[in-house]
């Protein structure tokens, strides 16, 4: 158990550094603070999993942790779905017309973005309840 406490403290220190960096970066360049928010959600996810709050006392999966994992996944899919349509140099992957590829990309990104915010809306209150 002593090792767990030490490793858990390292994790907290690591997330603290990441959050402070995001906070500082937001003062240097005005942006929407999403990186800070997502980093904090990742911290909550790891906190709940490592403190064994991912399973309820009845042995069922904790919906709070499941929703956090799903929200983070949807955010990351929204950020990375461009790779399904374009190469790193900006060329299209498929031979379809440029406007068709752009429309498909925008549709997929909107899909993941919408699901991310729906998960946030439905679960944000429970994510802040530490012992719920």
* DSSP 3-state of 56: coil
Number of domains in the chain: 1
Q: Answer yes or no: is 99 within a domain.
A: yes
Looking at residue 82, its pLDDT comes to 93
- Backbone region of residue 54 per phi and psi (left: phi > 0; alpha: psi in -120 to 50; beta: other values): alpha
Does residue 31 register a pLDDT over 80?
Answer: no
Of 56-60, 90-94, 121-125, least confident by mean pLDDT is 56-60
Paired with 55 in beta bridges are: 61
Establish if 132 belongs to a structural domain: no
Full residue range of the structural domain in which residue 107 is found: 2-127
pTM: 0.83
Structure tokens at 1: 């158990």
């Amino acid at each position: 158990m002593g090792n767990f406490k030490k490793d858990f403290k390292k994790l907290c220190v690591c997330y603290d550094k990441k959050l402070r960096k995001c906070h500082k970066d937001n003062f240097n360049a005005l942006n929407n603070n999403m990186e800070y928010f997502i980093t904090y959600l990742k911290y909550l996810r790891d906190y709940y999993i490592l403190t064994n709050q991912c399973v309820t006392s009845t042995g069922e999966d904790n919906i709070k942790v499941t929703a956090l994992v799903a929200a983070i996944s949807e955010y990351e899919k929204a950020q990375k779905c461009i790779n399904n349509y374009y190469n790193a140099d900006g060329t299209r992957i498929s031979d379809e017309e440029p406007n068709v590829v752009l429309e498909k990309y925008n549709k997929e990104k909107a899909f993941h973005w919408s699901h991310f915010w729906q998960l946030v809306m439905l679960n944000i209150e429970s994510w802040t309840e530490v012992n719920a």
